[in-house]
Chain A
Amino acid sequence: ELKVEQNPLFLSMQEGKNYTIYCNYSTTSDRLYWYRQDPGKSLESLFVLLSNGAVKQEGRLMASLDTKARLSTLHITAAVHDLSATYFCAVVNYSGYALNFGKGTSLLVTP
């Protein structure tokens, strides 16, 4: 059974600081996704990582994938309040399409 674990589950950080969210998964998978969710809203796609060593960056967020270690990271650089949200990683399961999600990391960026 494919398990996806994120840590930390809660993160409070000051503006301007850097931090990393970790996503571990238990079995081989072809693709890994990162999503952002604001309260009461749907999921917004951030990154799709397709291969070992993949690195993608958008603004203050950078995601990477190590398929050998079954680990993805979401690095936040110089956090700003607008980044406050819940971040999910998700991994494609045996179906080749549907996703198994982590429990999410609730991020709060404070002044």
Chain B
Amino acid sequence: NAGVTQTPKFQVLKTGQSMTLQCAQDMNHEYMSWYRQDPGMGLRLIHYSVGAGITDQGEVPNGYNVSRSTTEDFPLRLLSAAPSQTSVYFCASSPRRHARYEQYFGPGTRLTVT
């Protein structure tokens, strides 16, 4: 298993550009989520999904869009990038039933918006 994969690892955007951060998992996990990490802020939840076709907003959803058409993939779209979206983005997944309730994090995408 590759686990949770994220692409790209690094990205630089200009203000106003749009892009999609990719997240995929090959563990057949029902739950997937996106977080952003900013210095001194910990990780904050952007959007999450409890299964294909079901998504919900987290703490900081503005400026981001998600969809979940398959169990494996959970892309995060930036509609019109702003400098405030400069951050490190982490995707995570978890099975619905798991004795240890582990959550698996991807390696992250470092995004800079100029």
Partner-B contacts on A (CB < 8 A): 4, 9, 31, 33, 41-43, 45, 48, 50, 88, 90, 93, 95, 97-104
Contacts and interface: CB of A to CB of B under 8 A. Distances in A.
Contacts, number: 53
A13 B80 CA distance: 44
B33 A98 contact: yes
Contacts of B59: 100
B107 A42 contact: yes
Q: Determine the main DSSP class of B at the interface with A.
A: strand
Interface of B: 31, 33, 35, 40-45, 48, 50, 56, 58-59, 90, 92, 94, 100-103, 105-108
B103 A95 contact: no
A19 B90 CA distance: 29
A19 B16 CA distance: 47
Contacts of A48: 100-102
7 contacts: A41-B107, A48-B102, A95-B48, A95-B56, A98-B58, A100-B59, A103-B42
A4 B105 CA distance: 20
Given A31-B101, A99-B33, A99-B35, 5 more contacts: A33-B103, A43-B43, A101-B42, A101-B44, A103-B40
Contact of A45 (B31, B45, B90, B102): B102
Given A42-B108, A95-B48, A101 B43 contact: yes
B58 A104 contact: no
A103 B31 contact: no
A43 B90 contact: yes
